[in-house]
Amino acid sequence: MSNYHIKHLEEYYQVYRKSIREPENFWEEVAEEHFLWRKKWDNVLDWDFTKPEVKWFEGAQLNITENCIDRHLATRGDKTAIIFEPNSPDEEAEHITYKQLYHRVNQFANVLKEQGIKKGDRVCIYVPMIPELAISVLACARIGAIHSVVFAGFSAKALSTRINDCDCNMVITADGSYRGAKTIDLKGIVDEALESCPGVKTVLVAKRIQSEIIMKEGRDTWLQPLLDKASNQLTAEVMNAEDPLFILYTSGSTGQPKGMVHTTAGYMVYTAYTFKNVFQYKENDIYWCTADIGWITGHSYIIYGPLANGATTVMFEGVPHYPDFGRFWQIIEKHKVNQFYTAPTAIRALAKQGSELVEKYDLSSLKVLGSVGEPINEEAWHWYNDHVGKKKSPIVDTWWQTETGGIMITPIPFVTPTKPTYATLPFIGIQPALMDETGEELKGNQVEGRLCIKFPWPSMARTIWGNHQRYKDTYFSAFENMYFTGDGALRDEVGYYRITGRVDDVIIVSGHNLGTAPIEDAINEHPAVAESAIVGFPHDIKGSALYGFVTLKDAGESRNHDNLRKEINQLIADRIGPIAKLEKIQFTEGLPKTRSGKIMRRILRKIAEKDTSNLGDISTLLNPECVQDIMDKAL
């Protein structure tokens, strides 16, 4: 397995250098030795960041599900592929072997075909964390349909926007979902969303909570009876390397979410290769990533990366605090989890409970701990290291994005010495650059700038669905010939990277990317609101929380402010989802603006952060007088 599994630091440097010097040879070797191809490529890489256009393994043919399932059958047919751990600890876990997964994916894929879904069609998957979610994703990939998974915590409006953006004609959903002590009426949300989605002809409904729901005649069908009748055999569709595999939406600086398009071969090679190395996965290990499959972390590191390596991957339906805050630790003990991958926001929430609950469970199976989604603060890092890893399981602080498809900057456990709050070194094949505001690259160490990537990597998103110009403008226009990440970072004296946070209008709340514009759009829909501006401020558990400055049309004197706050948050929950609700809402007489009318968020951010000692020169503002008033009334 040359170069496939890195085991010590010297080897990392050696392989890294090779991957930079001869990227095409390097990735060709990885692709050649570890995957199943129907036909090999004619060309490893074709790229031009000015168009931008990137093609990996062109000419190759494959099906990713043959790599994730079929090829394991001979040697791992009875090995567990997926462990489904339900919301309630009283419900039994389900172990799905590779052979069973093969049959279930085939049945599902046959149902999709019978329902008229063809290669290239878009299928929206709005399903909670139950096995049908992973199986429907793989079933789409098996027949070449493009899956568009929408996180099942998004509102009806957010769902309909995503369905319409990529013209899905089918939605897969469930009657409802469990989330801790709550049940959620998913089908009701789908019904509401579909009122504005005329293109959707079919809705397949999985049964999960056994609730009474309305099935619309001619459109809605229960899934199980169809699966029961379907054959469990199906030859996978032959896909070209650059055929789209999926669309996944991420927030941007305008109200319209960006449908990032990921393609087949490069995505498979990179997610599989990173999974193997970043988690040092060994045969028979039990790997658990707590993310939802509705996010990129779940796509790449619950489904595709682990399954491409024949791993056992845990899917957890519930939440960290139900029935109590020991649930994660109980699951680790129960399934003897070896690699555990979660988010800083969860770590902070669990750390807040003290260490008693962690000590109660046997966590001795753990070998590697992972963190993803936002910067991990020093306190959380140490708590994770001391109480969960008992100082013997390295923490991999993995930096990456929906757009990058796979992990980009990360330690390799037992290889890269870790450093709290640092994502450390670029992964194999990744060429980061830090840029200053004038567009010059900052060379050498001990520098801080905007994080860009200089050279293509196999799993990068290829475009934004239906809007290539926006893809170019967002990622390839800020710096010449570079992919711009939207993040700031610093490089320390030994070349380790630390991500300092977003430098654009995206705020990360509890690990979720939220664009300020769509939230402001939602607030501005309120009839009493004249205008609004959202900024982030530090929060103990969420990392950042949202602070809204809202100007009312008639100064709002006649209205009860607490009621208005509730109505505004309800609007946000309806338009986007509860995750985007504001922590604080301050009503203001005006918002500070430049002479060209642009809201000066920098000033508002400082006020929200309670750091008003140095607001900079405000005399050039159009309305400097409003700043003092906002400061006086800050929450």
User: What is the distance between the alpha carbons of residues 545 and 7, in angstroms, rounded to a whole number?
Assistant: 39
Residue 69 contacts ligand PRX per CB under 6 A = no
Q: Toward ligand PRX, which CB reaches closer, 115 or 467?
A: 467
If one asks whether residue 67 binds ligand PRX (CB under 6 A), the answer comes out as no
CA 399, CA 424: separation in Å to the nearest integer? 9
- Residue 418 near residue 424 (C-beta atoms within 8 A): yes
Rule CB under 6 A: say whether 499 interacts with ligand PRX. yes
The least distance separating ligand PRX from the CB of residue 296, rounded to whole angstroms, comes to: 5
Instruction: Write out 257-313 in H/E/C secondary structure.
Output: CEEEEEECHHHHHHHHHHHHHHCCCCCCCEEEECCCCCCHHHHHHHHHHHHHCCCEE
C-beta closer to ligand PRX: residue 202 or 401? 401
- Of 8-16, 62-70, 281-289, 370-378, which segment contacts ligand PRX by CB under 6 A? 370-378
70 lies in the site for ligand PRX, by CB under 6 A? no
What is the distance between the alpha carbons of residues 542 and 348, in angstroms, rounded to a whole number?
Answer: 8
Does 87 interact with ligand PRX (rule: CB under 6 A)?
no
Sequence-separated (6 or more) residues with CB below 8 Å from residue 435: 441, 442, 449, 450, 452, 479, 482, 484
- Whether the CB-CB separation of 172 and 139 falls below 8 Å is answered with no
Asked whether 297 and 333 are in contact (CB, 8 A), the reply is no
Nearer to ligand PRX, 186 or 508 (CB): 508
Tokens found for residue 40? 């090999």
Decide: is 220 part of the binding site for ligand PRX (CB under 6 A). Answer: no
Q: Which is nearer to ligand PRX, 103 or 498 (CB)?
A: 498
Question: For residues 84 and 400, which CB has a smaller minimum distance to ligand PRX in the complex?
Answer: 400
> Do residues 130 and 108 make contact, with C-beta atoms less than 8 angstroms apart?
no
Stretch of residues binding ligand PRX (CB under 6 A), selected from 153-161, 373-381, 471-479, 621-629: 373-381
Closest distance of CB 349 from ligand PRX, Å: 17
- Quick count: other Cβ atoms within 10 Å of Cβ 611? 12
Please identify, using beta-carbon distances, which residue of 506 and 550 lies nearer to ligand PRX.
506
Q: Report in angstroms how near the CB of residue 80 gets to ligand PRX at its nearest.
A: 26
Binding-site size for ligand PRX (CB under 6 A) equals 22
Q: Give the phi and the psi of residue 157 in degrees, each rounded to 5.
A: -65, -45
Residues 4-43 close enough to bind ligand PRX by CB under 6 A: none
Binding pattern to ligand PRX, positions 294-333, x when CB under 6 A?
Answer: --xx------------------------------------
Closest separation in Å from C-beta 120 to ligand PRX: 25
Does 576 bind ligand PRX (CB under 6 A)? Our answer is no
Rounded to whole angstroms, the Cα distance separating 382 from 392 reads 12
Residue type, 3: N
Site for ligand PRX in 408-437 (CB under 6 A): 423
Regarding 270 and contact with ligand PRX (CB under 6 A), the answer is no
For ligand PRX, give the closer residue by CB, 63 or 339: 339
Give the tokens for residue 361. Answer: 């469970």
**Where does this chain touch ligand PRX (CB under 6 A) — which range of 180-188, 397-405, 475-483, 586-594?**
397-405
Q: Tell whether residue 402 is a contact of ligand PRX (CB under 6 A).
A: yes
Both tokens of residue 262?
Answer: 């990921």
Residue 398 makes contact with ligand PRX by CB under 6 A = yes
- Listed ranges 46-54, 396-404, 472-480, 514-522: which one lies at the site for ligand PRX (CB under 6 A): 396-404
Give the residue ranges of DSSP H helices in 592-632.
Answer: 601-608, 625-632
Site membership for ligand PRX, residue 515 (CB under 6 A): no
User: In 3-state terms, what secondary structure has residue 322?
Assistant: coil
Helix (H, G, I), strand (E, B) or coil at 528: coil
CB of 198 to ligand PRX, least distance (A): 30
Q: How far apart are CA 290 and CA 288, in angstroms?
A: 6
Q: Which tokens go with 458?
A: 């196999």
* Least gap, CB of 106 to ligand PRX (angstroms): 30
Q: CB–CB of 285/49 below 8 Å?
A: no
- Which parts of this chain interact with ligand PRX (CB under 6 A)? 250, 296-297, 371-375, 397-402, 423, 485-487, 499, 502, 508, 513
